[in-house]
Structure 1
Amino acid sequence: MSYRLDLTVISQCEQQSRFGLTLHNLSDQALKNWSLHFTFARWIPVETLSSGQLEQLGSYCVLRPSQPETLAANGHFYTEFTLETTPFLLHDQGIQDAFINTAPDDHPVQPLPVEITSLSLLEPPVEQLSIPLPPAKDISLIPLPDSLIRLNGEFRLNAEVAVSVPTDLAAGCARWLQSELETLLHEDIQVAPQGQIRYHHDDTLAEGAYLLEVTPNTIWLRAGSTAGFTHATASLLQLIPTTPAHHVQASYLLPAVSISDQPNYSYRGMMVDCARHFHPVRRLKHLINQMARYKFNYLHWHLTDDEGWRLEIEAYPALTDIGAWRGPNEVLKPQFLNIDRRYGGYYTKVQVRELIAYAGDRGITLIPEIDIPGHCRAAIRSLPALLVDPEDRSQYRSMQCYPDNVLSPALPGTYTFLKTVLQEVCELFPGPYVHIGGDEVPEGAWSDSPASQALMAQYGYRDRLELQGHILQFAEEVLRSRGKRMMGWEEATEGNKISKQTVVLSWQSEEAGLTCARDGFDIIMQPGQYTYLDMAQGFSADEPGANWAGSLPLDTVYSYRPLASLEADDPVHQHILGIQAGLWSEHITTQSRFEYMIYPRLLAVAELCWTRPELRHWQDFKARLNGQLRYLDQVGINYRRCE
């Protein structure tokens, strides 16, 4: 590599760190009229630079020498800067990607690759976290069922078995079971009236509950609902061993058991961010299949943000023609990784319908998120004639370092845009929920907008947050008219305009969820300190991930008990619909990294969602996890090793 970039921590204290940045020209050619383009997740105050000029938009930084300067062959450029931040502990907190450009400003950028060394930290190294696992249990179901009784004998599963599906309630999960068995046995599996695997409708069982009985001759899956049949199927699939019966290829011996089970929470979710980095349909299908296996029932699909718009909207093709792509020569500038090229993608409506059907067979409902009124830069840059207020002189910087990512509450175009987009979303997604974000609107937004100030006067608003509430109230009315229930992050309650019918997802802390529940909102708990799977899984600097919510090892995830400080009979508990894991994708571009951050922690979240707290036991979970890791190995999932 001809160019190298080093970032070093020079000094640090509790809330301030000084960094040194060195660009090495290792080639035998001098660089003229050069600029360094790199991504860094923190805001760099330009006044702290010891040398050079910096422009920053989001994570994308362009550094130039203070005066036109040649970077000599085998020479280097050095500068320092200060951040008001706690000490860096992870290599992932350093520079993520970089290139050099020597093209004139009025020409397309022509990236030259740069090698980036690991962030040099002052903290001493910490050993990789190890969680020793006890021997695997013979039956290692996750999540733990209410009741499991081992019976005498075994059921031989081979290509001669057939599936009996006398009720339409089991049609989808039966297709899922067929698909899994055909992949495992390498043969077609027949559907027949008297199949050895039998779905049976039992209307005495509650929603989501099931009975699974495996005998030497027959497997019975009993439920009174589609969800119950899906959960029974998931348990049956987990009973299949990872290795065939001795000396018999494509033949598996399942233990005879009787299982009675039902979920503790009705909502068991996983959120995936596809806006920061685009995840292809095949990756999402793979995840959905695993979610179903561990009895999740909702995939919260984060489709829009500052860095990308990922959903086809027929009324506004520019949202994907422009907003789905970023790069050094695109309207949306690069962010995070892959910054030297055109990067992005989006989901067509055909692909979305295909994914909805695939998830539906596995008992999973897709919840789209269209993030408003903040996190809207991709939309605003795609539709400036509709969404930009030319008279707005407000100055702000969002949490992710953008000065122009908030919809205007005073523009008619904002409401035209919202109604049009949300109506198309409602037509596309059959599920009951649509998520509208509502988080991280920066201080200063709308403060110097004559139109916004006039709107406040018109409605008698005294707090700028009421403008956010004004927009969200409109969105809620649109969704309600289409039979949907609105969801939002806890900041959506600010401005006091949305109704108590909105479901609030609490992400900043447990306390934020408790506050909303006490105010009468139904809530889903997703506190970053326990459920954010983009957090590092240990304390070593080499652990991939972020740590703003702290490191999140497997045992910390498993320890979570929502609102455990409340008395068991406190009515606030009735407002907790469930728990959700989350995966933000600023650092995640590959299948390998995607899986590494999710597994095995997703299995711990599955047990939090499903199993009654009094039945959970850490040592027992670890033994069952050890058994499940054999399956993850079998299907080639790249999980973080426990030992």
Structure 2
Amino acid sequence: MRLHLEHHLIANGEAGSRLSVTLSNQSDSILDDWHLAFSCIRRLAANSLTCGSLKQVGSLCRLTPPESARVLAPGQHFYTEFEVTLPHITLQGHGITEAVAVSQYAMHKVEVAPLQIRDRMPFRDASTDRSLVKSTVIAITPQPAQLMVQSGSFTLDSRCQTQCGTPLAQAALQWFADELVQRHHLTFTEHHEFSRSGLISFQMDSQCREGSYRLDVKTDHIQIQASEECGFFSAVASLLQLIPLQSDNSMLFVLPCLTIQDKPRLGYRGMMLDCVRHFHSVSKVKQIINQLARLKFNVFHWHLTDDEGWRIEINAYPALTEIGAWRGPNEQLPAQFSHLTERYGGFYSQQDIREVVAYASARGITVIPEIDIPGHSRAAIKALPELLYDAQDESQYISVQHFNDNVLSPGLDGTYTFLRTVLDEVCELFPAPYIHVGADEVPEGVWSRSPSCQQLMAQLGYTDPKELQGHLLRFAEQYLEQKGRRMLGWEEVVHGEKVSTETVIFSWQSEKAALECIGKGHDVVLQPGQFLYLDMVQSHCVDEPGLDWAAILPLEKVYHYDPLANIPADKQDKVLGVQVALWSETVVDEHTLDYLLYPRLFAAAEVTWSESRQWYQFLRKLNNHLIELEQLGISYCRNGIFDGYKQWAC
């Protein structure tokens, strides 16, 4: 059966937007006793529907026609209108992205035409013109603190040998060897001869502090010096980028002689990846981690639980992944965002997690898990209702993502049993000294009509339900402290004012929250959506993938973010570092993931590492990196990357 849906933006203003929807039966069969299921990331006003009835759970909407329109004959169409509560629809992704007509006996895929939006750029220009960009021989990103080019060159080939002068360098040396095999098909032997020619040496230097390193490339040898394991990893990241992408016919790689003395601007240099809204394979996660290592990031923040799925295997609660990891027509969790007609999801087994943690550690990267509480917990609640569902709670609320049943109850004993059990297994799987507990976007109205929560408030003398959020998070903080872990949370983790200043604050809505929390004594990590949310669109084109609630975020805007510009000098020691984020509501496949991540990740690398940087120099280096991405089959964004360079070059 061929069904076609068109929808148009017929009003767009501050108060909200209005869409028209037309479903046409373009087949020879009758569509009988039907309703329309479709995905829309925006919140719809159900009472605004002009024909039929409308319900929404998350991004999944169900439109039921009136009795008079339950039969759609060949050639007929059904028309209705409804309002979107948020103003200014600007992207085709804000409309209906996928739809299916459900009849009594079958599900029929619906062809969805892109949302029609006037007065916007109509399409992405997928081309990128590198013809004016002069490539540079030395394309090290992020930009080193000091780089001195010298005369001469070093020849890298299979006759070279390696020497490890300290156990602190062993892991970095192994990563270097692994990369040479995988990328350049080169293998070395461990140094045994007295000769220095062709030697790549890793040596301890106590003068190198705070992650710094020294890299010397001479005509006959390469020497790396550092005093910490992280310094050796950073040195290897620079050395790998010096190796030409192609060798000559004799498998010889010629490196320029130079000296680099380098250190990071910030200690915490992270990336967060949401693997819940859409699931990403272990192989893809590893590919990203390896790119992070090559760009001198040192933290991979793994968002593993949310309303739309539970992605981490917990042995004590198999239902979390048997039920909570899957969405679809016949699942406890309805389809969200995409894949409306099929079972969709996945999870990481404990063996998968150990493998990823070990892989990251072998590249100098710490993996920090996020278990999002007390909001964003719908998948867990649906999977474990016997522990987490409060049957007497009649509170009325709606979350930002359009759920009314996604918050853990501080009034249930099962909540604390659940947290202790889950955190026990999480701490066993992740050796990192940090655990992230989310704590964001708990909606207004929650717990207000729960007898158990009201009883707890009276018992403890609380007057505001928000204090219950602080109460539950303080429990998590103290439990993690007993296990030798420090709690991390989004800026809302301080709501209710119960957690201690040992909790690290990740500010995401703006830097204002970071300054407020610094004033209260917290350490912070900066992750402002206006500059570092890589799920934001990169242009004004209507078909650009991503969201735009925080910003239009092209490459240049990411690059020019200065994380310390608005932090007073006497408070900068409270800024542990910076993190970029990629949320996955719109990341339906690996192509979209690559498109949103690259090349903006290269810009973010210089933001986190480099004290001094220069935009046009960065673009020249980027030209080299894009060629490497192409060789790896990574489908980066090509839209307007070098426009600024063209203007400068001309």
**Which residue of structure 2 aligns with residue 264 of structure 1?**
265
One-letter code aligned to 2:555: L
TM-score, structure 1 length as denominator?
0.96
Distance in structure 2 (CA, Å) of the matches to 1:209 and 1:280: 33
**Which residue of structure 2 aligns with residue 121 of structure 1?**
117
Kept in 2, the 8 Å contact 1:184–1:250? The answer is no
TM-fit CA distance, 1:492: 0.5
Identify which of 204, 221, 224 aligns with 2:227: 224
Which sections of structure 1, spanning at least 5 residues, go unmatched? 105-109
Determine helix, strand or coil for the equivalent of 1:272: strand
TM-fit CA distance, 1:128: 5.0
Determine helix, strand or coil for the equivalent of 2:342: coil
One-letter code aligned to 2:109: P
1:454-475 per-position Cα deviation (integer Å, ceiling 9, x unaligned): 1111111111110000100000
**Which residue of structure 2 aligns with residue 61 of structure 1?**
61
One-letter code aligned to 1:114: V
One-letter code aligned to 1:36: L
Q: Where in structure 2 are the equivalents of 1:84-95 lying within 5 Å?
A: 84-95=85-96
Distance in structure 1 (CA, Å) of the matches to 2:84 and 2:279: 30
Kept in 2, the 8 Å contact 1:242–1:634? The answer is no
Determine helix, strand or coil for the equivalent of 1:623: helix
TM-fit CA distance, 1:591: 1.7
Kept in 2, the 8 Å contact 1:182–1:189? The answer is no
Is 1:513 the counterpart of 2:514? The answer is yes
**Which residue of structure 2 aligns with residue 317 of structure 1?**
318
Is 1:40 the counterpart of 2:37? The answer is no
Identify which of 608, 627, 630 aligns with 1:630: 627
**Which residue of structure 1 aligns with residue 648 of structure 2?**
none
- Return structure 1 stretches of 4+ with deviation > 6 angstroms: 129-133
Distance in structure 2 (CA, Å) of the matches to 1:507 and 1:19: 31
Determine helix, strand or coil for the equivalent of 2:297: coil
Distance in structure 2 (CA, Å) of the matches to 1:566 and 1:279: 35
Is 1:212 the counterpart of 2:215? The answer is yes
TM-fit CA distance, 1:131: 9.3
Decide whether aligned partners of structure 1 residues 188 and 134 sit closer, same or farther in structure 2, where only a CA change above 3 A counts. Answer: closer
Distance in structure 2 (CA, Å) of the matches to 1:210 and 1:115: 56
Segment of structure 1 superposing worse, 184-193 or 349-358 = 184-193
TM-fit CA distance, 1:123: 2.3
Is 1:192 the counterpart of 2:223? The answer is no
**Which residue of structure 2 aligns with residue 472 of structure 1?**
473
Q: Where in structure 2 are the equivalents of 1:133-144 lying within 5 Å?
A: 134-144=133-143
Segment of structure 1 superposing worse, 29-38 or 11-20 = 11-20
Q: Where in structure 2 are the equivalents of 1:82-481 lying within 5 Å?
A: 82-103=83-104, 110-125=106-121, 128=124, 134-193=133-192, 196-245=199-248, 248-481=249-482
1:289-319 per-position Cα deviation (integer Å, ceiling 9, x unaligned): 1000000000000000000000010110000
1:136-160 per-position Cα deviation (integer Å, ceiling 9, x unaligned): 2221111110100111111111222
One-letter code aligned to 1:142: T
One-letter code aligned to 2:624: G
Kept in 2, the 8 Å contact 1:410–1:452? The answer is yes
1:162-201 per-position Cα deviation (integer Å, ceiling 9, x unaligned): 2222322112222211111112332433233457211111
**Which residue of structure 1 aligns with residue 17 of structure 2?**
17
Kept in 1, the 8 Å contact 2:301–2:369? The answer is yes
TM-fit CA distance, 1:126: 6.0
Segment of structure 1 superposing worse, 68-77 or 449-458 = 68-77
Identity %: 47
Distance in structure 2 (CA, Å) of the matches to 1:125 and 1:265: 38
**Which residue of structure 1 aligns with residue 645 of structure 2?**
none
1:414-453 per-position Cα deviation (integer Å, ceiling 9, x unaligned): 0000011011101110011100000000111101111111
Segment of structure 1 superposing worse, 187-196 or 225-234 = 187-196
**Which residue of structure 2 aligns with residue 107 of structure 1?**
none
Distance in structure 2 (CA, Å) of the matches to 1:515 and 1:117: 46
Is 1:52 the counterpart of 2:52? The answer is yes
Over the residues paired in the alignment, what is the CA RMSD in angstroms? 1.5
Kept in 2, the 8 Å contact 1:158–1:252? The answer is yes
**How many residues are paired up?**
632
Distance in structure 2 (CA, Å) of the matches to 1:200 and 1:469: 48
1:487-512 per-position Cα deviation (integer Å, ceiling 9, x unaligned): 00000111000010001101111212
Kept in 2, the 8 Å contact 1:536–1:551? The answer is yes
Distance in structure 1 (CA, Å) of the matches to 2:405 and 2:72: 34
Kept in 2, the 8 Å contact 1:89–1:123? The answer is no
Distance in structure 2 (CA, Å) of the matches to 1:241 and 1:522: 41
Determine helix, strand or coil for the equivalent of 1:511: helix
One-letter code aligned to 1:342: R
Distance in structure 2 (CA, Å) of the matches to 1:227 and 1:239: 19
Kept in 2, the 8 Å contact 1:324–1:346? The answer is yes
TM-fit CA distance, 1:125: 2.3
Determine helix, strand or coil for the equivalent of 2:538: coil
Distance in structure 2 (CA, Å) of the matches to 1:502 and 1:35: 48
1:78-121 per-position Cα deviation (integer Å, ceiling 9, x unaligned): 110112322211112121221111126xxxxx421111111101
Kept in 1, the 8 Å contact 2:599–2:636? The answer is yes
TM-fit CA distance, 1:203: 1.8
Decide whether aligned partners of structure 1 residues 464 and 563 sit closer, same or farther in structure 2, where only a CA change above 3 A counts. Answer: farther
